[in-house]
A and B are shown apart, each in its own frame.
Chain A
Amino acid sequence: MAFGVALVVYYIVSYLMVTPPVVAATGSKPRVHLTLQTVASFGNVPHKDWVSYLARDPRGKWVHSTVLRVPAYSTVDVTIYQFDTATGLRNPFWGQPRGTVGGTINVDGKTLNVLDPDLASHTFAIPDLGVSVPLKGVADNAKNQCSVAPCTLSEAHTTVNFSFKTGKPGKFRWQCFVPCAAGFPLGFGGPMQSIGWMDGYLMVQ
């Protein structure tokens, strides 16, 4: 019986310790660069049908993680390659970019200060830093859509660029605001409530 309890303890504790690896931004203070991608279906275990973010590490490799590290008191330039089709924002309010330098985002070369909320596929939002950026979706009938991560630039995608500034160090949560979790009631289950998929941490150090 003691052995059984010890097994349970091990089981519980090993579950608790699972976190995705930290991916650092490229460059160094006071200006760094983050490159992310969002995919419609991860295509691999453990959840091949879940939507997900991926991050590119400084060596150029795509990592399945949403724990990002940037320096404090810096400007962070972000490039997101968006490979998923649009679901639309539940609250259209998030169609306006906030907290970015200039209050704008650059989508496929064009500077926008608002995105039609129905065209949003995901968002990248750091509420405690006031950052919220809608990500434009790929057209439903676009050719050559990606279905297995990591996706390559030859597949259909939109490119979103923006910058934000960090202040003092801390650990900030970030999330997507589009109800993009396919099949889950309200679209907010599964990947939308899991770190490493559509939620993550921004470590400002």
Chain B
Amino acid sequence: MTTIAGEPVPRHGIRILATWLVLTAIAVPLIVLVLGPHLPPPHMTVESVDQRNANIVMTALLVPIALFVLVYFVYSFVFFRETGDAIVDGPPIKGHAGAQLLWIVVTSTIVLALAVWGSYTLIAGAHGAGGGQGPDPAAKPAGYQHALPVQVIGQQWEWTFRYPTYGGIETRDLAIPDHTLVAFHVTSLDVTHSFWAYELGVKADAVPGVDNIAYVNPRHTGYFQIRCAELCGLWHGHMSKKGRVLAASAFQTWIAAAQKKNASIVKYLPKYSRVYFPAPLRRAG
């Protein structure tokens, strides 16, 4: 407690802290219980559920931090505002080594803890969380050797898909079976694209000459949206279509029909490969 010019100074620090605590106590349960289940992405796969849970944790942690800054600012604007026209200096600002140290320690701890937690859940818990991990994934889910491989080929400006375990057929449409671990092998024939299957929670860059692997475990049947998430030229925004998660038996029917439908072109397709370097590099010189 200090006085300035003989008057007691209100305990600003306690007020700010108390306001912040009350707001946090209201906000965090609201986020976790009410907002949380509605946060994107929709929970069609194990990976998208993992992402949604991560969003809940991050929001529940970051909102109190934002609130602290906001409460501090708003409080200062309201209570430290100089009224009247006279230009008078306020009390001098002194450094406080304890406060500085506390700030540095607390913020560093939060950041480091998040980094550790994030890395652990990404690799050990979520097995990549639907993201592309390159040709040699570090976070492989259990049973990855038996994952259904589906190659996603990005080209200007459409997606095509190859199923190496079904005769290497290529299709325009994507379907994957429910409750089956799928390994997407994402690559490109020309420029960089990005395969974003929204409800699946999958996003992997399609890079020419690179086999980018992303794992996904669907848990519900239904449609999902596919978009391109890396600017690839004129029709980048139009590279979208719908994919489907089918029940396992429906998937078998679908793939058999796809094999029949695409039979006439199979003999012209190159042998299935993890990457392709198709000619021509340039036309006519």
Contacts and interface: CB of A to CB of B under 8 A. Distances in A.
A175 B232 CA distance: 14
A187 interface: yes
Nearest to B233: A193
Nearest to A93: B170
Interface string A157-182: 00000000000000001010101111
Nearest to B234: A193
A182 B278 contact: no
A30 interface: no
Given A93-B160, A96-B262, A187 B282 contact: yes
Given A179-B283, A182-B283, A185-B282, A117 B238 contact: no
A91 B189 contact: yes
Contacts of B158: 125, 127, 177
Contacts of B283: 87, 179-184, 187
Contacts, number: 87
Contacts of A116: 268
Nearest to A117: B268
Contact of B284 (A98, A114, A182): A182
Interface residues of A, number: 36
A184 B282 contact: yes
B234 A91 contact: no
A92 B284 contact: no
Nearest to A90: B278
Interface stretch (B15-23, B66-74, B149-157): B149-157
Interface in A83-140: 87-88, 90-93, 95-96, 98, 113-114, 116-117, 125, 127-128, 130, 132
B273 interface: no
Interface string B124-159: 000000000000000000000000000001011110
Contacts of B265: 92-93, 95-96, 114
A188 interface: yes
B113 to A, nearest CB: 45
A45 interface: no
B264 A96 contact: yes
B235 interface: yes
A98 B280 contact: no
A186 B268 contact: no
Given A87-B280, A183-B285, A188 B190 contact: yes
Given A96-B264, A116-B268, A88 B157 contact: no
Interface in B243-268: 262, 264-265, 268
Interface string B208-249: 000000000000000000000000011100100100000000
A184 B191 CA distance: 13
A93 B157 CA distance: 14
Given A91-B160, A92-B268, A93-B269, A186 B191 contact: yes
B166 to A, nearest CB: 15
A51 B268 CA distance: 26
Interface in B169-185: 170, 172
B264 A175 contact: no
B234 A186 contact: no
Nearest to B161: A93
B281 interface: yes
A83 to B, nearest CB: 15
A127 B153 CA distance: 15
A88 B241 CA distance: 26
A116 B241 CA distance: 27
B285 to A, nearest CB: 7
Most-contacted residue by chain B among A88, A91, A114 (CB, 10 A): A91
Contacts of B282: 182-187
Contacts of B191: 186, 188
Contacts of A184: 282-283
B242 to A, nearest CB: 11
B279 interface: yes
Contacts of A187: 280-283
A188 B233 contact: yes
7 contacts: A88-B280, A90-B279, A91-B153, A183-B282, A187-B283, A188-B191, A194-B234
A-B interface, 4 closest residue pairs, ranked by CB to CB distance from nearest: A96-B265, A114-B264, A182-B284, A92-B268
